[in-house]
């Protein structure tokens, strides 16, 4: 099955991989700007996310195969890749297993190390929604707000809500599988795996996803890595400071 995507522009292929519970729509504005700067942008919806297919299998191995299948379908031989969070970890796995496929790699706010489960409040919030009771978006957001006080995070989650029928809302994500298989996301890159091409790691100034102690680990797996910090931003650095994110990423992609 083929992943859903939004394709814009002409030029070098640039594949964008969103994070956990995200979708290609999260990259709408940046995708347009990359397209205006000479790239054919493929913003993907990963399996169990956005408008892509739902599956009981949710592993990095399965997602790598999805991306390769997508690239074969569109005849994308060598790609530039931007991946955020879970999408960044997927991009790393793709690069170490199929280095011939990846030309330039940009990893947004994730390191190669393992991450313990830390989205429990978000999963609790989403699983508390009952669409047979909550019929309007406002009612859904009120349920989520009981768990998630942060407005920005709620807005990000609410992007997943759509009208399945005139009477009923639903989530675009496959919430059941994303909840059950959550532990698969936090795994580390295997020891002794190395990607020898240039790689740019971008971290948010206020985020704790890439710490100083991670820098050695990054250099071990990605010996040609550069690490840059996006100011005034947390984990959603591409949304919180898109101007700086675009400047760093474009400069790297065009160099």
**50-89 tens-digit pLDDT:** 999 999 999 999 999 999 999 999 999 999 999 999 999 9
**Known catalytic residue: 235?**
yes
The answer to whether 218 and 194 have CB atoms below 8 angstroms apart is no
In 197-241, alpha helices (H): 214-221, 237-240
The reply to whether 19 and 71 lie within a common domain is yes
Same domain, 98 and 125: no
pLDDT at 176: 98
Residue from 5, 52, 85, 207 carrying the catalytic annotation: 85
Is 118 assigned a catalytic role?
no
Q: Which of 42, 84, 235, 238 is catalytic?
A: 235
Angle 212-215-221 (CA atoms, 0-180°, nearest 5)?
A: 160
Which pLDDT score is estimated for 223?
98
Domain assignment of residue 152, given as a range: 120-180
Taken in order 131, 133, 137, 141, is the CA torsion positive or negative?
negative
> Mean per-residue pLDDT for 193-215?
97
For the chain, the domain total comes to 2
Same structural domain for residues 136 and 244? no
* CB neighbour burial string for 37-58, b if at least 16 within 10 angstroms, e if fewer: eebbbbbbbbbbbbebebeeeb
Cα 221-42-26 angle, rounded to 5 deg: 85
Q: Output DSSP code: residue 172.
A: S
pLDDT band with cut points at 50, 70 and 90 for residue 109: very high
Task: Select from 153, 180, 207 the last residue of a domain.
Answer: 180
Q: DSSP alpha helices (H): ranges in the chain?
A: 28-36, 60-73, 86-97, 120-127, 137-145, 151-158, 175-180, 214-221, 237-240, 242-254
| CA distances (Å), origin 171, targets 27, 45, 129 | 19, 14, 10
Q: What value does the mean pLDDT take over residues 186-215?
A: 97
* Nearest CA-CA partner of 44 in 10, 78, 77, 74: 74
Range 182-199 average pLDDT: 96
Query: Percent of the chain having pLDDT more than 90?
Result: 99
* For residues 115-134, average pLDDT: 96
Label residue 142 by pLDDT band (50, 70, 90). very high
| Residue percentage of the chain with pLDDT more than 70 | 100
Same domain, yes or no, for 218 and 162? Answer: no
Are 150 and 108 in the same domain? no
Looking at the fold, whether 94 and 53 belong to one and the same domain comes out as yes
Same domain, yes or no: 164 and 191: no
Chain length of the chain:
255
Single residue among 180, 198, 218 that ends a domain in this structure = 180
Are residues 201 and 110 located together in one domain of the fold?
A: yes
* Predicted pLDDT at 123: 97
pLDDT band per the 50, 70, 90 thresholds, residue 247: very high
In a shared domain, residues 149 and 211: no
Residue with tokens 């011939």: 100
């Amino acid at each position: 099955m083929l992943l859903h995507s939004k394709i814009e522009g002409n030029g070098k292929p640039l594949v964008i991989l969103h994070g956990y519970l995200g979708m290609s729509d999260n990259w709408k504005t940046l995708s347009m700007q990359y397209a205006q700067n000479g790239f054919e942008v493929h913003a993907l919806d990963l399996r169990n996310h956005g408008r892509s297919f739902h599956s009981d299998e949710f592993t990095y191995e399965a997602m790598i195969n999805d991306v390769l299948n997508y690239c074969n379908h569109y005849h994308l031989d060598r790609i530039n890749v931007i991946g955020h969070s879970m999408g960044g970890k997927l991009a790393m796995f793709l690069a170490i297993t199929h280095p011939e496929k990846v030309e330039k790699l940009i990893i947004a706010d994730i390191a190669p190390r393992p991450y313990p489960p830390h989205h429990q409040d978000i999963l609790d919030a989403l699983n508390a929604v009952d669409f047979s009771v909550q019929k309007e978006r406002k009612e859904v957001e009120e349920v989520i707000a009981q768990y998630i006080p942060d407005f920005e995070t709620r807005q990000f989650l609410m992007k997943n809500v759509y009208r399945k029928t005139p009477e009923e809302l639903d989530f675009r994500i496959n919430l059941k599988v994303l909840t059950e298989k959550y532990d698969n996301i936090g795994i580390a890159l295997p020891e002794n795996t190395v990607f020898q091409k240039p790689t740019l790691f971008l971290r948010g100034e206020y985020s704790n996803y890439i710490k100083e102690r991670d820098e050695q680990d990054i250099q071990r797996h990605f010996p040609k890595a550069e690490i840059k910090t996006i100011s005034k931003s947390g984990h959603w650095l591409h949304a919180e400071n898109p101007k700086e994110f675009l400047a760093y990423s474009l400069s790297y992609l065009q160099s």
